[in-house]
Amino acid sequence: MPLTSTEISSPGMTINMGPQHPSTHGVLRLLVELDGEVVHSCRPVIGYLHRGLEKMFEARPYRQCIPFTDRLDYLAALNNNLAISQAVERVGNIAVPDRAQYIRVMLCEMNRIASHLVFIGTYATDIGATTVFLYAFRDREKMLDLLEMMTGARLTYNWIRPGGVPTDLPEGFEKAVRSVFEELKVTLDENNRLLTGNRIFRVRTEGIGVISKEHAIAWGATGPVIRGSGVPYDIRKIAPYEVYDRLDFDVPVFDQGDCMARYLVRIEEIRQSMRIVEQCFKDMPEGEIMTKMPKIFRPPAGQAYSRTESPRGELSFFMVSDGSLNPVRVHVRAPSFIHLSMLPDLLKGVKVADVIAILGSLDTVLGEVDR
Amino acid sequence: MSVRVYTSSKSYRAGQFFGGLIVSLIIIAVASLLPLLPWYKLNPVLDFIGLHPWLNAFLKAFVVVNFVALHVLFLIWLERKFAGWMQARLGPKHVGWQGLGQTLADAIKLFLKEDIVPAKADRQLFAIAPFLSFMPTLLTFMVLPFSAAWIAYDYDLGALFVVAVSTNVALGVLAAGWGANNKYSILGGARAVAQLLSYEIPMVMMILAVVTLSDTMSMKQIVLRQAHMWNIVAYWPVMIPAFLIFLTCALAELNRTPFDLPEAESELVSGFHTEYSGMRFAFFYLAEFANNFFSAGFAVTLFFGGWYGPILPPVVWFTLKTLILICVMMWIRWTLPRLRIDQVMGFCWKVLVPISLVIYCITALIALK
Amino acid sequence: MPTPEAISKLQQLFSETQLKVDWAVKDLILDVECDTFKKLCLFLRRNTDFDCDFLADITSWDTGESFPLWYRFHSMSLNHTVIVRTNVPRDNPIIASVTDIWPGADWLERECFDMYGIDFEGHPFQGDLAQMRILMPKDWDGFPFRKDYEPVFSGDPLHGPQERN
């Protein structure tokens, strides 16, 4: 039966965006109630990718948990590796050698660049500029090649371990990184000219999806989302881990709180990350890269948590140990999960096209949301 | 472990660009040789046909339809190649020379695909919609002057005919959006109709400006008046903005970025043709690209002196100008992001309509003098 | 780290609360009974010496006897972290919701309910099982992260591990 006219004009027209939709960035389902083009209400439905990873951690020795974390935020797998390694190190009181810390920081920052490049590309596609997508992915390809050179993998690295890192830098790595960064600095400016200065891109993102400072804090937003709302909340600065307190970098903060601000924060973060990596090369000491770890690792009973700044926000692993081989409980505080919970509030009264713009600007990864 | 070394991407892109340029030049050179063939030997046959009105009409229709179909094959290839060059990749490469046969392969694939009609669709409407949107486009080619001789039917009211007929594209789009019984399609169809009808107004206004200056509605006559000087040069203070408005409206009529909201992929999952597959989908594509060629050709007719140009034969000049304009449209398409629906409508009613009214008034004053 | 005066004031007001400081990360850890929990949360949010305006995390786990709950608060202005731990009994797992203080607690509490069956009194969806479920399907039976949870296999791989109606 064709729809009748009353069915269309009634405010109750529900559009089911996802789980298969080009712009939900994974298997997110948004139940959007529309009045014409205006969104009445929106209800995110998640759990399509729920694999029970937190439960699976409970059945595995600590070190075997790491491959699973690659599958949480698959765009920044190293940052997840780092977060869980830190939690294990805290619960087991393990110290990490200096050189390993530098290597960790360096690689996480490179992964952050790769992740933000994906954001630029996909966000541009969401807004409708398809060309930027390929430019951004071309740059990301180079970053992935560097990470492959280091870790041997391109997406799921499974590389940072409790106690350090398994391998030292390969030969010629610094040179390769520098040459890629030289190009990236140029292409980043090119992309910036193509997108940031673009009038259409600006009218689509400025003043859209505004999150006020108070709102962002109350809802627990972190990462580029809260920094786009004018709160300088960056774990790397307020609670420095690894060697971040020895590195010189700025935290970009924009006050507008709209999609444009969140986008600009990420662009600027790419530049800062490049700065950090270059400093790491300069400051890195020689020495061990792995602490001596017992073959059978039994941390003392207790609880510990790690706080790290992943590309999406505050990624924190909470770990409970009872002195046995396996953790009793591992909880992931996934930033995307918190950001998605803001969505119903953000989407009230916006146009359909803005749904995509706002969702894209939060840069959620569903692997992390559903765990 | 080996590191893949990336050579400077700029020289790589430049190589692609010039490679593409050479390909285009070869195609144009081949096309320009075609009129040199001994066509005059066909004159007795043509005379015979010309004496028989039904045969004449049939032959003209045959030529127009085949020209459109073949040209669309080429245009789709060009669009994809162009996108490839812009996006630092190669584009179609494998089927035929430089991937020229790719569109043909795709078309054959589409024609062999199962024709799926959604269970709850309005079957008749769903079936007829692609043809509803293709027919008006095809009809407009009837009055498109490729040269003084190469025009299927030199209608006195050619410009009016174009306006009257091409508006019907909206009907096909609406039928597709409604008939598929898909909410995305309905949103896409509603957006398309709103947008097409709104942008029709400044577009018609700009056509009217040229018509007023040329003192005729016949497409052929409009071009003939530009024998010494193109409209856009002769009356540049009004005609340059008029052309820009015309181009903007043409982009909106064609549903191309930045006005591709009816088929916004990232929002509406292709909008009004979400549910279409196989041959019907191919017809939407055909209509879109045929429309693209016609809009560019129409702009050439109105502003760029139609077939006039030195050395090369007139048909080649017309095609060349049209292709350049199409490339400009593609350039815009692969550069800009998409607007929002309220911004699109606001831009039309608050910016384009007032400006086009002013421009029309000025041209009317010029014409009076 | 809140000032010693603020901490002593907190101790006066909540005499039964056990205080601990995790010196490794300079976090203040408060162990509290679940009936005074909400009062403590309000105090932490409203008191300017604590000013915990940011709820970072809520989680729970299963010890076999009870469900400990673990809340991590952060103060944006004073830059300190306060961890509040409480226990809910396994046979009647109910605790006050903090969604009215920190709206961001909404999904975190729903996740706790989804996995452990802890009821949050005052949560907008409290008592509405289908609405409370967040990661698991709406019609799921049982709480999968409890240690005694046994999945029921239906034998039909397309239907998932559980019998559905």
A264: left (phi over 0), alpha (psi -120 to 50) or beta: alpha
- pLDDT at B363 exceeding the cut of 70: yes
Q: Of B204 and C5, which is predicted with more confidence?
A: B204
State the average pLDDT over residues B174-190. 84
User: What value does the mean pLDDT take over residues A362-367?
Assistant: 88
Comparing alpha-carbon positions, the chain B residue that sits nearest to A174 is: B3
Give yes or no for a contact between C95 and C120, defined as CB atoms under 8 angstroms apart: yes
Query: In Å, how far is A312's CA from the nearest CA of chain B?
Result: 22
Confidence at residue B1, expressed as pLDDT on a 0 to 100 scale: 43
B268 Cβ under 8 Å from any chain A Cβ: yes
Q: Strand A302-310 relative to strand A313-321: parallel, antiparallel, unpaired? A: antiparallel
Distance CA C165, CA C154 (A): 11
Residue C57: enclosing H or E segment and its boundaries? strand C54-60
**A186 Cβ partners below 8 Å, 6+ apart?**
none
Q: Is the dihedral of CA A320, A326, A329, A333 positive or negative?
A: positive
Interchain contact B/C (3 or more Cβ pairs less than 8 Å): no
Q: Choose the mutation target among A341, A345, A371 for the interface with C, i.e. most C CBs under 10 Å.
A: A341
Asked if residue A85 lies in contact with residue A161, where contact means CB atoms within 8 angstroms, the answer is yes
Map tokens 């191309």 to a residue: B256
- Which parts of chain C have pLDDT scores under 50? 164-165
Q: In the predicted model, is pLDDT for residue B5 greater than 60?
A: no
Q: Which of A119, A113, A189, A100 is nearest to A146 (CA)?
A: A113
Are the Cβ atoms of A22 and B266 closer than 8 angstroms?
A: yes
Whether residue A163 is predicted with pLDDT greater than 60 in this model: the reply is yes
Reported as a single tens digit per residue, the pLDDT across B223-255 is 888 888 888 877 888 888 999 999 999 988 888
Count of helices and strands (H, E) across chain C: 4, 7
Q: % helix / strand / coil in chain C, to the nearest 5? A: 25, 25, 50
Query: What secondary structure letter does DSSP report for C123?
Result: -
The predicted pLDDT at position B3 comes to 44
> Is A in contact with B (3 or more beta carbon pairs below 8 Å)?
yes
Specify the pLDDT at position B50. 66
Residue type, C56: A
pLDDT greater than 70 at residue B263? yes
Q: Is the CB of residue A138 less than 8 Å away from at least one CB of chain B?
A: yes
pLDDT at B7 over 50: no
Give the pLDDT confidence score for residue A116 in this predicted structure.
92
Distances from the Cα of A249 to the Cα of A117, A268, A281, A316, angstroms: 19, 11, 15, 22
Chain B residues within an 8 Å CB radius of A351: 340-342
Q: Which of B 86-115 lie inside 8 A of A, CB atoms?
A: 86-89
Q: Is C79 helix (H, G, I), strand (E, B) or coil?
A: coil
Q: What is the pLDDT of residues A138-149, one digit of tens each?
A: 889 889 999 998
Mutate to test the interface with C, among A329, A343, A346, A362 (most CBs of C within 10 A): A329
- Give the integer Cα–Cα distance in Å for B322 and B318: 6
H helix intervals, B180-277: 183-214, 219-224, 231-234, 236-253, 265-268
B19 neighbors B89 (Cβ within 8 angstroms): no
pLDDT of residue A161: 87
- Reported as a pLDDT band with limits 50, 70 and 90, residue B355 is very high
Residue A112: the pLDDT is 92
- Sign of the CA dihedral running A195, A197, A198, A202: positive
pTM for the model stands at 0.85
Contact B313, B35 (CB under 8 A): yes
Report how many Cβ contacts below 8 Å link chain A to chain C: 74
A353, B269: Cβ pair inside 8 Å?
no
Question: Does B2 score more than 50 pLDDT?
Answer: no
Q: What pLDDT does residue A265 have?
A: 92
DSSP of A118-162, one letter per residue? HHHHHHHHHHT-HHHHHHHHHHHHHHHHHHHHHHS-SS-----BT
Say yes or no to pLDDT of B310 above 60.
Answer: yes
Which residue of C134, C136, C162 is the best one to mutate when testing the A interface, meaning the one whose CB has the most A CBs within 10 A? C134
Q: Which residue has the higher pLDDT, B3 or A361?
A: A361
Residue A250 sits at the chain B interface (C-beta within 8 Å):
no
- Residues from chain B that touch A180, judged by Cβ atoms under 8 A, are 6
Contacts of B83 in chain A (CB under 8 A): 130-131
Q: Could you say which of A303, A318, A340 has the minimum Cβ distance to residue C57?
A: A318
Confidence bin at B51 (pLDDT 50/70/90): low
pLDDT tens-digit readout, A237-266: 888 888 888 888 889 999 888 899 999 999
Most confident of A142-156, B111-125, B299-313, C6-20: A142-156
Q: How far apart are CA A196 and CA A200, in angstroms?
A: 9
> Residue C164 is which amino acid?
R
Residue B129 confidence (pLDDT) = 87
With contact defined as 3+ CB pairs under 8 Å, the chains touching B are: A
SS3 A309: strand
pLDDT band, very low/low/confident/very high, at B11 (cuts 50, 70, 90): low
Nearest to B6 among A3, A142, A195 (CB): A142
The whole-number pLDDT of residue A115 equals 92
pLDDT tens digits, one per residue of A86-120: 999 888 888 888 889 999 999 999 999 999 999 99
DSSP state of B101: T
> How confident is residue B6, by pLDDT bands cut at 50, 70 and 90?
very low
Q: Facing residues of A317 across strands? A: A306, A332
Write out chain C residues lying below 8 Å of A218, CB-based.
53, 102-104
Scan residues 94-133 of A and list those with Cβ closer than 8 Å to B: 124-131
* Predicted confidence (pLDDT) at residue B16 exceeds the cutoff of 70: no
Chain segment A282-328, per-residue pLDDT in tens: 888 888 888 888 888 888 888 888 889 999 989 999 999 888 888 98
- Name the more confident of A278 and B267: A278
Give residue B358's pLDDT: 92
Instruction: DSSP for A220-283, please give it.
Output: T--HHHHHTTT----HHHHS--TTGGGS-------SS-SHHHHHHHHHHHHHHHHHHHHHHHHH
Of C127 and A342, the one with more pLDDT: A342
* Strands A329-333, C18-22: pairing kind: unpaired
- Residues recorded for chain B: 369
Query: How buried is residue A282: exposed, middle or buried, by Cβ count under 10 Å (0-12/13-18/19+)?
Result: exposed
Give CA–CA dist B28/A207, Å, rounded: 48
